[in-house]
Amino acid sequence: MHRCHQFVSATAVLLLPYLANSANANLVDNFELLDQRGDAHELYYLSDANAVVLMAHASGCVGGQHAAGELEKLAETYAPKGVEVRLLNSSLNDNRATIRAAMDAEDNGLAVLIDDTQLIGESLEFWQAGEAVVIDPATWRTVYRGDIDGVAPTLDAILGGNPVPAPIALQASCTVAFPEQQRRSSHADISYADTIAPLLIEKCLTCHRPGGIGPWVMSDHNMVLGFSLMMREVVRTQRMPPWHADPHHGQFNNDRSLSVEEKKTLVHWIEAGAPRGEGADPLANFVHDWPEWGLGSPDVVVDIPAKEVPATGVVDYQ
Protein backbone atom coordinates (compact mmCIF):
# COMPACT_ATOMS: atom_id res chain seq x y z
CA MET A 1 0.00 0.00 0.00
CA HIS A 2 2.64 2.54 1.04
CA ARG A 3 4.79 1.82 -2.02
CA CYS A 4 2.29 3.47 -4.40
CA HIS A 5 3.37 6.93 -3.24
CA GLN A 6 5.38 7.33 -6.43
CA PHE A 7 2.11 7.96 -8.26
CA VAL A 8 0.90 10.70 -5.90
CA SER A 9 0.10 13.92 -7.72
CA ALA A 10 1.56 17.30 -6.94
CA THR A 11 -1.84 18.38 -5.59
CA ALA A 12 -1.80 15.58 -3.02
CA VAL A 13 1.70 16.56 -1.96
CA LEU A 14 0.62 20.12 -1.32
CA LEU A 15 -2.21 18.82 0.86
CA LEU A 16 0.17 16.96 3.18
CA PRO A 17 0.21 19.61 5.96
CA TYR A 18 -3.60 19.54 5.95
CA LEU A 19 -3.79 15.76 6.02
CA ALA A 20 -1.48 15.62 9.03
CA ASN A 21 -4.12 17.49 11.04
CA SER A 22 -7.22 15.81 9.63
CA ALA A 23 -9.01 12.57 10.42
CA ASN A 24 -5.98 10.74 8.99
CA ALA A 25 -3.85 11.92 11.92
CA ASN A 26 -4.22 8.52 13.64
CA LEU A 27 -2.66 6.76 10.64
CA VAL A 28 0.86 5.60 11.51
CA ASP A 29 3.29 5.79 8.59
CA ASN A 30 6.01 3.20 8.20
CA PHE A 31 9.47 3.76 9.70
CA GLU A 32 12.67 1.91 10.52
CA LEU A 33 14.90 2.63 13.52
CA LEU A 34 17.81 0.99 15.32
CA ASP A 35 17.42 -0.01 18.95
CA GLN A 36 19.91 0.31 21.84
CA ARG A 37 21.60 -2.92 20.73
CA GLY A 38 21.99 -1.84 17.10
CA ASP A 39 19.20 -4.08 15.79
CA ALA A 40 16.89 -2.65 13.10
CA HIS A 41 13.11 -2.55 13.49
CA GLU A 42 10.67 -1.67 10.69
CA LEU A 43 7.08 -1.06 11.75
CA TYR A 44 5.32 -2.56 8.73
CA TYR A 45 7.31 -5.80 9.12
CA LEU A 46 4.98 -6.40 12.09
CA SER A 47 1.93 -6.66 9.83
CA ASP A 48 1.20 -10.21 10.99
CA ALA A 49 0.89 -9.13 14.65
CA ASN A 50 -2.52 -8.87 16.30
CA ALA A 51 -1.55 -5.49 17.73
CA VAL A 52 1.52 -3.27 18.11
CA VAL A 53 2.20 -1.23 21.24
CA LEU A 54 4.57 1.75 21.16
CA MET A 55 5.41 3.83 24.22
CA ALA A 56 7.43 7.02 24.51
CA HIS A 57 10.64 6.60 26.52
CA ALA A 58 13.21 8.89 28.15
CA SER A 59 15.97 7.30 30.23
CA GLY A 60 16.16 10.18 32.70
CA CYS A 61 12.45 10.15 33.51
CA VAL A 62 11.59 8.23 36.68
CA GLY A 63 7.91 7.99 35.80
CA GLY A 64 8.76 6.92 32.28
CA GLN A 65 11.09 4.19 33.53
CA HIS A 66 8.32 2.92 35.83
CA ALA A 67 5.95 2.82 32.86
CA ALA A 68 8.62 0.97 30.85
CA GLY A 69 8.77 -1.65 33.60
CA GLU A 70 5.01 -2.04 33.47
CA LEU A 71 5.20 -2.35 29.69
CA GLU A 72 7.75 -5.16 30.00
CA LYS A 73 5.36 -7.08 32.24
CA LEU A 74 2.59 -6.48 29.73
CA ALA A 75 4.84 -7.74 26.91
CA GLU A 76 5.46 -10.99 28.77
CA THR A 77 1.71 -11.54 29.03
CA TYR A 78 0.67 -10.57 25.51
CA ALA A 79 3.63 -11.64 23.35
CA PRO A 80 2.31 -15.23 23.22
CA LYS A 81 -0.96 -13.73 21.96
CA GLY A 82 0.66 -12.10 18.95
CA VAL A 83 1.25 -8.60 20.36
CA GLU A 84 4.46 -6.74 19.53
CA VAL A 85 5.79 -4.20 22.05
CA ARG A 86 8.45 -1.51 21.52
CA LEU A 87 9.67 1.63 23.27
CA LEU A 88 10.44 4.78 21.26
CA ASN A 89 13.04 7.25 22.50
CA SER A 90 13.00 10.69 20.87
CA SER A 91 14.72 12.49 23.76
CA LEU A 92 17.50 14.88 22.77
CA ASN A 93 19.16 14.08 26.11
CA ASP A 94 19.65 10.41 25.22
CA ASN A 95 21.82 8.35 22.92
CA ARG A 96 22.46 4.64 22.45
CA ALA A 97 24.84 4.46 25.41
CA THR A 98 22.57 6.24 27.91
CA ILE A 99 19.53 4.28 26.80
CA ARG A 100 21.29 0.94 27.03
CA ALA A 101 22.68 1.81 30.46
CA ALA A 102 19.24 2.79 31.72
CA MET A 103 17.60 -0.39 30.41
CA ASP A 104 20.39 -2.58 31.78
CA ALA A 105 20.06 -0.89 35.17
CA GLU A 106 16.34 -1.66 35.19
CA ASP A 107 17.01 -5.17 33.83
CA ASN A 108 14.47 -4.40 31.11
CA GLY A 109 14.81 -6.45 27.95
CA LEU A 110 12.50 -4.40 25.73
CA ALA A 111 13.83 -2.89 22.51
CA VAL A 112 14.11 0.91 22.63
CA LEU A 113 13.91 2.40 19.14
CA ILE A 114 16.22 5.41 18.91
CA ASP A 115 14.53 8.28 17.10
CA ASP A 116 17.57 10.56 16.77
CA THR A 117 15.91 12.76 14.13
CA GLN A 118 12.71 13.06 16.23
CA LEU A 119 10.75 12.63 12.99
CA ILE A 120 8.91 9.54 14.23
CA GLY A 121 8.08 10.96 17.66
CA GLU A 122 6.82 14.13 15.99
CA SER A 123 4.49 12.23 13.70
CA LEU A 124 3.24 10.10 16.62
CA GLU A 125 2.82 13.24 18.76
CA PHE A 126 4.67 11.67 21.68
CA TRP A 127 5.00 14.71 23.94
CA GLN A 128 5.48 12.86 27.27
CA ALA A 129 7.47 9.83 28.37
CA GLY A 130 5.17 6.97 29.30
CA GLU A 131 2.51 7.81 26.72
CA ALA A 132 1.43 4.64 24.94
CA VAL A 133 -0.37 3.93 21.67
CA VAL A 134 -1.90 0.69 20.46
CA ILE A 135 -1.83 0.22 16.69
CA ASP A 136 -4.02 -2.08 14.61
CA PRO A 137 -1.73 -3.58 11.91
CA ALA A 138 -4.76 -4.30 9.72
CA THR A 139 -5.23 -0.56 9.15
CA TRP A 140 -2.05 0.91 10.71
CA ARG A 141 -4.21 3.24 12.75
CA THR A 142 -4.00 3.96 16.45
CA VAL A 143 -6.92 2.53 18.41
CA TYR A 144 -5.68 3.71 21.81
CA ARG A 145 -3.59 6.59 23.12
CA GLY A 146 -3.05 7.29 26.79
CA ASP A 147 -1.69 5.84 30.04
CA ILE A 148 -0.08 2.41 30.24
CA ASP A 149 -2.94 1.25 32.49
CA GLY A 150 -5.33 1.39 29.54
CA VAL A 151 -3.24 -0.78 27.23
CA ALA A 152 -4.19 -4.19 28.66
CA PRO A 153 -7.98 -3.57 28.48
CA THR A 154 -7.52 -2.34 24.92
CA LEU A 155 -5.55 -5.44 23.93
CA ASP A 156 -8.13 -7.70 25.59
CA ALA A 157 -10.87 -5.99 23.57
CA ILE A 158 -8.95 -6.32 20.30
CA LEU A 159 -8.09 -9.97 20.88
CA GLY A 160 -11.65 -10.74 21.92
CA GLY A 161 -13.23 -8.89 19.01
CA ASN A 162 -14.93 -6.42 21.33
CA PRO A 163 -15.25 -2.61 21.21
CA VAL A 164 -12.17 -0.79 22.48
CA PRO A 165 -12.84 0.92 25.85
CA ALA A 166 -12.38 4.62 26.44
CA PRO A 167 -8.72 5.66 26.86
CA ILE A 168 -7.23 6.39 30.27
CA ALA A 169 -5.67 9.86 30.48
CA LEU A 170 -1.91 9.90 30.80
CA GLN A 171 -0.65 10.64 34.28
CA ALA A 172 1.69 13.64 34.64
CA SER A 173 5.10 12.68 33.31
CA CYS A 174 8.28 14.13 31.81
CA THR A 175 7.84 16.28 28.74
CA VAL A 176 9.82 15.34 25.65
CA ALA A 177 10.98 18.49 23.87
CA PHE A 178 10.52 18.68 20.09
CA PRO A 179 12.13 22.01 19.09
CA GLU A 180 11.22 21.66 15.41
CA GLN A 181 7.54 21.50 16.28
CA GLN A 182 7.87 25.03 17.67
CA ARG A 183 9.36 26.05 14.30
CA ARG A 184 6.88 24.16 12.16
CA SER A 185 5.49 27.30 10.56
CA SER A 186 8.97 28.17 9.28
CA HIS A 187 9.52 24.83 7.52
CA ALA A 188 7.87 26.25 4.40
CA ASP A 189 10.71 28.80 4.33
CA ILE A 190 13.39 26.11 3.87
CA SER A 191 15.01 27.09 0.60
CA TYR A 192 14.72 24.64 -2.26
CA ALA A 193 17.33 26.51 -4.30
CA ASP A 194 19.89 27.02 -1.52
CA THR A 195 19.35 23.97 0.73
CA ILE A 196 17.26 21.13 -0.72
CA ALA A 197 18.51 20.98 -4.32
CA PRO A 198 22.22 21.12 -3.34
CA LEU A 199 21.56 18.32 -0.85
CA LEU A 200 19.90 16.20 -3.53
CA ILE A 201 22.76 16.88 -5.94
CA GLU A 202 25.35 15.80 -3.39
CA LYS A 203 23.59 12.72 -1.99
CA CYS A 204 21.08 11.52 -4.61
CA LEU A 205 21.87 12.63 -8.14
CA THR A 206 24.65 10.12 -8.76
CA CYS A 207 21.89 7.48 -9.07
CA HIS A 208 18.81 9.61 -9.89
CA ARG A 209 20.16 11.01 -13.19
CA PRO A 210 19.87 10.10 -16.87
CA GLY A 211 21.64 6.77 -17.26
CA GLY A 212 21.84 6.25 -13.49
CA ILE A 213 20.50 3.25 -11.62
CA GLY A 214 17.78 5.25 -9.84
CA PRO A 215 14.22 4.46 -11.08
CA TRP A 216 13.46 8.14 -11.76
CA VAL A 217 15.47 11.24 -12.62
CA MET A 218 15.67 14.27 -10.33
CA SER A 219 15.53 16.57 -13.32
CA ASP A 220 13.90 19.59 -11.68
CA HIS A 221 11.72 20.73 -8.79
CA ASN A 222 8.53 19.52 -10.44
CA MET A 223 9.84 15.94 -10.54
CA VAL A 224 10.97 16.14 -6.92
CA LEU A 225 7.57 17.52 -5.94
CA GLY A 226 5.78 14.63 -7.61
CA PHE A 227 7.93 12.05 -5.84
CA SER A 228 8.25 13.91 -2.53
CA LEU A 229 5.91 11.71 -0.48
CA MET A 230 7.82 8.64 -1.60
CA MET A 231 11.06 10.42 -0.68
CA ARG A 232 9.67 11.07 2.79
CA GLU A 233 8.79 7.39 3.14
CA VAL A 234 12.16 6.01 2.03
CA VAL A 235 14.02 8.42 4.33
CA ARG A 236 11.83 7.40 7.28
CA THR A 237 12.43 3.71 6.50
CA GLN A 238 16.16 4.32 5.85
CA ARG A 239 15.99 2.75 2.38
CA MET A 240 17.39 5.89 0.79
CA PRO A 241 20.11 6.87 0.40
CA PRO A 242 21.17 3.18 0.27
CA TRP A 243 23.72 3.23 3.06
CA HIS A 244 23.38 0.84 5.97
CA ALA A 245 26.71 0.98 7.80
CA ASP A 246 26.10 1.82 11.46
CA PRO A 247 27.75 5.20 12.26
CA HIS A 248 27.99 4.07 15.88
CA HIS A 249 30.93 1.89 14.84
CA GLY A 250 33.06 4.44 13.00
CA GLN A 251 33.42 6.51 9.85
CA PHE A 252 33.36 5.03 6.37
CA ASN A 253 34.65 6.07 2.97
CA ASN A 254 32.17 7.07 0.24
CA ASP A 255 29.45 7.61 2.84
CA ARG A 256 26.32 8.86 1.06
CA SER A 257 24.02 8.67 4.07
CA LEU A 258 22.10 11.71 5.24
CA SER A 259 23.05 13.26 8.56
CA VAL A 260 20.44 13.71 11.27
CA GLU A 261 20.08 17.40 10.37
CA GLU A 262 19.83 16.64 6.65
CA LYS A 263 17.06 14.08 7.22
CA LYS A 264 15.13 16.51 9.38
CA THR A 265 15.51 19.34 6.89
CA LEU A 266 14.45 17.27 3.90
CA VAL A 267 11.43 15.64 5.59
CA HIS A 268 10.24 18.89 7.16
CA TRP A 269 10.48 20.62 3.76
CA ILE A 270 8.41 17.81 2.22
CA GLU A 271 5.84 17.92 5.02
CA ALA A 272 5.53 21.68 4.44
CA GLY A 273 4.44 20.93 0.88
CA ALA A 274 7.87 20.85 -0.84
CA PRO A 275 7.62 24.55 -1.81
CA ARG A 276 9.55 25.82 -4.81
CA GLY A 277 10.44 29.19 -3.31
CA GLU A 278 12.65 31.77 -4.99
CA GLY A 279 15.82 31.43 -7.06
CA ALA A 280 17.00 29.38 -10.00
CA ASP A 281 16.44 25.61 -10.04
CA PRO A 282 19.87 23.99 -9.43
CA LEU A 283 18.59 20.58 -10.57
CA ALA A 284 17.26 21.87 -13.89
CA ASN A 285 20.51 23.71 -14.55
CA PHE A 286 22.90 21.04 -13.25
CA VAL A 287 25.47 19.81 -15.76
CA HIS A 288 28.00 17.13 -14.88
CA ASP A 289 30.18 14.79 -16.90
CA TRP A 290 29.37 11.50 -15.23
CA PRO A 291 32.04 8.80 -15.74
CA GLU A 292 31.03 5.55 -17.38
CA TRP A 293 32.54 3.64 -14.45
CA GLY A 294 32.06 5.31 -11.07
CA LEU A 295 34.81 3.28 -9.38
CA GLY A 296 37.24 3.39 -12.30
CA SER A 297 37.56 1.30 -15.46
CA PRO A 298 37.45 -2.47 -14.80
CA ASP A 299 40.36 -4.73 -15.70
CA VAL A 300 38.05 -7.27 -17.35
CA VAL A 301 34.52 -7.01 -18.77
CA VAL A 302 32.63 -10.30 -19.17
CA ASP A 303 29.74 -10.29 -21.64
CA ILE A 304 26.91 -12.60 -20.59
CA PRO A 305 24.83 -13.88 -23.52
CA ALA A 306 21.12 -13.18 -23.57
CA LYS A 307 18.85 -15.88 -22.17
CA GLU A 308 15.26 -16.33 -23.31
CA VAL A 309 12.81 -16.92 -20.46
CA PRO A 310 9.49 -18.57 -21.37
CA ALA A 311 6.29 -16.85 -20.35
CA THR A 312 5.13 -19.94 -18.43
CA GLY A 313 6.55 -23.14 -17.06
CA VAL A 314 9.54 -24.07 -14.93
CA VAL A 315 13.10 -22.92 -15.66
CA ASP A 316 15.89 -25.09 -14.28
CA TYR A 317 18.37 -23.39 -12.00
CA GLN A 318 21.58 -22.39 -13.77
State pLDDT tens for residues 295-305: 889 999 999 99
Alpha-carbon separation of residue 174 from 27, 61, 128, 146, 189 (angstroms): 25, 6, 5, 14, 31
69 plus 173 within the same structural domain: yes
Out of 251, 271, 291, a domain closes at 271
Same domain as 175, residue 188: no
State residue 25's pLDDT score: 64
Q: Give pTM, 2 decimals.
A: 0.86
102 with 173, same domain?
yes
Same domain, 233 and 154: no
| Residue 213 shares a structural domain with residue 160 | no
Question: Rounded CA gap, 132 and 123, in Å?
Answer: 14
Same domain, 175 and 75: yes
Asked if residue 102 belongs to a domain, the reply is yes
Residue 240: DSSP 8-state? S
- Residue 163 belongs to domain spanning: 31-180
Same domain, 158 and 199: no
Query: For residue range 162-186, what is the model confidence (pLDDT) as tens digits?
Result: 999 999 999 878 999 999 999 999 9
**Mean pLDDT across the chain:** 91
- Asked if residue 241 has a cis previous peptide bond (ω within 30° of 0), the answer is yes
Q: Are residues 176 and 53 in the same domain?
A: yes
**Are residues 45 and 144 both part of a single domain?**
yes
Q: What is the pLDDT of residue 82?
A: 98
**Residues 208, 156 within the same domain:** no
Task: Choose between 267 and 317: higher pLDDT.
Answer: 267
Quote the pLDDT of residue 2.
38
Is the pLDDT at 3 greater than 80, yes or no? no
What is the average per-residue pLDDT within 12-40?
71
**CATH number where 43 lies:** 3.40.30.10
Whether the per-residue pLDDT at 203 is higher than 80: the answer is: yes
One domain, residues 66 and 135: yes
For residues 98, 104, 108 and 110, what is the CA-based torsion angle, rounded to 10 degrees? 50
Per-residue pLDDT at 24: 63
Q: Of 271, 287, 306, at which residue does a domain stop?
A: 271
**Per-residue pLDDT at 65:** 87
Domain count across the chain: 2
Q: What is the mean pLDDT of residues 244-248?
A: 83
Q: Are residues 59 and 159 in the same domain?
A: yes
Say what the pLDDT of residue 287 is. 93
Dump strand ranges (E) for 112-184: 112-114, 132-136, 141-146
The verdict on residue 312 lying in a domain is: no
